[in-house]
Amino acid sequence: FITIVTRDRVCCFGAVSGGRLVSNEAGRMVLATWEALPSRFPNVRTDTVVVMPNHVHGILWIDPVGVDRPLLLGTVVGAFKSTTTNEYAKGVKNRGWPPFRNALWQRNYFEHIIRTEKACTPIREYIANNPGQWHLDEENPSPAGQPPTNSVIP
């Protein structure tokens, strides 16, 4: 289970309205990049994911069988961050997306190893229900019930 947050928690991937996620073009690009990870890393499988206004929650499975050397989670996350940063920069240049300051993503990420299917179920539910809990989310830069002051919805 991984959480990746934008630098300064800037909301650049859409908004939440009435408990429902409204992704913008940048948010859809981030989702497509996540979903394409198995194409780049054949022993990676994606699971439940949500691209929130300023962060991504997702589950990745890495199969260690059939590889010459182990694939590190940091390699996958680094590739995801690099690809989305490059694509977002193209969006800034070609589509008028708002620019980011120094970096699109925070330096690190949160990870939690899921060891059983029983442990996975509540995490999947948490991810699926995340938009409805946005007003309570610690990643939400605005006070409860208020629109974020740093939202960007191109």
**Model confidence band, residue 80 (pLDDT cutoffs 50, 70, 90):** very high
Whether 29 contacts 88, CB under 8 Å? yes
Task: State the pLDDT at residue 36.
Answer: 98
Mean pLDDT, the chain, whole residue set: 89
What pLDDT, in 10s, does the model give residues 27-74?
Answer: 999 999 999 999 999 999 999 999 999 999 999 999 877 667 788 999
Task: State the pLDDT at residue 152.
Answer: 45
**Quick check: 149 pLDDT over 60?**
no
Nearest to 76 by CA among 107, 114, 36: 36
What are the C-alpha distances in Å from 132 to residues 41, 90, 109? 32, 31, 22
Instruction: Determine if the pTM surpasses 0.95.
Output: no
Tell me how far apart the alpha carbons of residues 38 and 100 are, in angstroms, rounded to a whole number. Answer: 27
Q: Which of 40-54, 80-94, 124-138 has the lowest mean pLDDT?
A: 124-138
Whether 118 contacts 3, CB under 8 Å? no
Task: State the pLDDT at residue 119.
Answer: 95
Whether 41 contacts 47, CB under 8 Å? no
Mean pLDDT of 76-89: 98
